[in-house]
């Protein structure tokens, strides 16, 4: 399922930056802009390229989890097994946020998922609450880890 460039620009890049923030906070790393960009932007490019391939729907998510784990491993020096676990958790969080946001919107508006999917601008707009929830989750996890520092080393 090809991703339109403008959707990638307005939703895909911010979403991947938010995912990178959440991963770094789960890994107990500081939320440094340079690391967030070094993980989020390449992941967004990879995601855009993968979505342009003629592959089965859902396979892009598996590829996304693995490539996100690889980037976290390389950039933040986190063990790959932990990186993979954190990438999976971040994708689960994204799926939960998307389900809640879209579900609430459908209940309030009476529109269907198909209506949302076919309305390009509405689809992008509904992606932003998820981005915000991911960033807020990253901040919450970061604060929680700082208050409950376990001293665990990677």
Q: What confidence tens digit (pLDDT) does each residue in 29-40 have?
A: 999 999 999 999
Whether residue 153 has pLDDT greater than 80: no
Number of domains in the chain: 1
What's the pLDDT score for residue 111?
94
- Residue 2 DSSP symbol: P
Whether residue 2 has pLDDT greater than 80: no
Question: What is the chain's length?
Answer: 154
Whether residue 154 has pLDDT greater than 70: no
34 in a structural domain: yes
User: pLDDT tens-digit profile of 88-106?
Assistant: 999 999 999 999 999 999 9
Q: Which of 18, 21, 26 lies closest to 145, judged by CA? A: 26
- 40-73 in b/e form (b: 16+ CB < 10 A) is bebbbebbbebbeeeeeeeebeebbbbbbbbbbb
What's the pLDDT score for residue 151?
54
84 in a structural domain: yes
121 in a structural domain: no
* The model's pTM: 0.91
Whether 19 contacts 90, CB under 8 Å = yes
Q: Which of 75, 68, 128, 83 lies closest to 102, judged by CA? A: 128
**CA-to-CA dists, residue 151 to 10, 35, 97, 146, 148, angstroms:** 38, 21, 30, 10, 9
| Rounded percentage of the chain residues whose pLDDT exceeds 70 | 96
Give 104 or 152, the one with higher predicted confidence: 104
User: pLDDT tens-digit profile of 24-81?
Assistant: 999 999 999 999 999 999 999 999 999 888 988 889 999 999 999 999 999 999 999 9
110 in a structural domain: no
77 in a structural domain: yes
Containing domain of residue 16, as a range?
5-93+131-147
9 in a structural domain: yes
15 in a structural domain: yes
């Amino acid at each position: 399922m090809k991703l339109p460039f403008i959707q990638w620009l307005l939703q895909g890049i911010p979403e991947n930056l938010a995912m990178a923030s959440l991963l770094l906070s789960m890994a107990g790393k500081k939320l440094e802009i340079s690391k967030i960009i070094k993980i989020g932007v390449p992941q967004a490019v990879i995601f855009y390229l993968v979505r342009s391939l003629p592959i089965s729907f859902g396979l892009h998510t598996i590829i996304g989890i693995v490539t996100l784990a690889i980037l976290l491993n390389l950039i933040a020096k986190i063990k790959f097994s932990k990186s993979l676990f954190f990438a999976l958790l971040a994708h689960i969080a994204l799926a939960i946020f998307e389900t809640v946001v879209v579900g609430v919107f459908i209940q309030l508006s009476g529109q269907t998922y198909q209506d949302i999917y076919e309305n390009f601008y509405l689809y992008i707009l509904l992606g932003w609450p998820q981005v915000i929830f991911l960033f807020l989750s990253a901040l919450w996890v970061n604060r929680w880890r700082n208050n409950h520092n376990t001293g665990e080393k990677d």
